[in-house]
Structures are given as C-alpha cells and as structure tokens.
Amino acid sequence: MEIVSLCAHFLKGGLLLAPFALGLARSESPLRRYFVLPGRPALLPFSDAVLAGDTLYLAGRIGLDPKTGSPPNPTEEEARLVLEGVRGALAAASMTMDDLVYVQVFCSDVSLFERFNAVYRGYFGAELPARAFLGSGPLLFGARFEVQGIAVRRDATPQHASKTRWNSARRGSGRARKS
C-alpha cells in the first residue's frame, strides 16, 4: 500500500519517476516470472531469465565445464555448453531456440567467430534470430563466449502479411513465401 501512495504522489507531481517506483513491487507482479536455474550459485545477484508477458529476457550465460568450473577445450565444446545453457533457460519458460528473436554473443577473441558459428548454426532451422557478435575483452572465469538473448513465444506472435514479404526479400526471391 505504501508503494501505491508513493506512486500516486509522483503522479500528482507530474514526475516521470512513477514507473521506477512501481518497479519496487516487482516480486508482486503477476505479469512477470523470475527464473533461477538449478545448479547455479545462489549468491549471484540476478535471475537467469525474466518472463514479462510473452517475452523472455535471458541473462548472459557462459559455457563452463560443470566438473572443472573452467572453459573446456576445444572451443566448440564451450560454444555447445553455452548454447545448451541458453536452451535450458528457454525450456524453463516452456520455450525453444526457435522462440529467440535477438541474441548477443560476447567473445573474448573475435577470431573465434567461425568456430562459434559452426556450432551455433546447428541450434536453429531456416529462421535465425537477429544477432550481434561483439568483441568483449576478458570474460568472467576465462570464458571465451557469453550469450544473452530475447525470446518471444511463437504462438503469441501475430501472423502479418508483411512477414511473408520480409522472408521472400531475404531469400532474394520475387515470389512471396508463406512462413
């Protein structure tokens, strides 16, 4: 109740801080679900994922060997582990890799671009999410890759005529293709 009166005070004053004040009650919000996956240290100050409506925001994940706590060799195994972690976070929210709409990959050495992509391609069908691959400098625990993303539940995405146009343009075809 105290938060509500605080928000009303901000709204009466015309200040734009009201949305931030509402954020104080986040654990009470029925529109959000917070996911902390099993096997992760409890002291980490963040959620593995947050579901807001039909959109899932994935925290950055790294692919450490669970036995050693270090990045595995070869590099492709680390890429596989980080993508399996992403898949696990999506599964916790009843989503799949196909629900990803945006992915950011932070990489400590951009010369690993093709090695990462060789593994990454195997996790998707024909439709790939938008993606950024960023050189980052050193990552925690000596990891070479950190991946974060945004997913939107596919069955919640409206089907628009423009989707057909975008898909056909992407493939360079003059004919519209139904997706």
pLDDT confidence of residue 166: 43
Domain total of the chain: 2
pLDDT confidence of residue 1: 39
Exposure string over 97-131, b if 16+ CB within 10 A, otherwise e:
bebbeebbbbbbeeebeebbeebbeebeeeeebee
Residues 63/105, Cβ–Cβ less than 8 Å = no
Q: Are residues 84 and 52 in the same domain?
A: yes
CATH of the domain at 99: 3.30.1330.40
Q: Are residues 39 and 22 in the same domain?
A: no
Q: Are residues 3 and 41 in the same domain?
A: no
Q: What residues in the chain have per-residue pLDDT under 50?
A: 1-28, 160-179
3-class SS at 165?
A: helix
pLDDT confidence of residue 136: 95
68 within some domain: yes
pLDDT confidence of residue 156: 63
Q: Are residues 119 and 75 in the same domain?
A: yes
pLDDT confidence of residue 29: 56
Q: Which residues form the domain of 79? A: 31-155
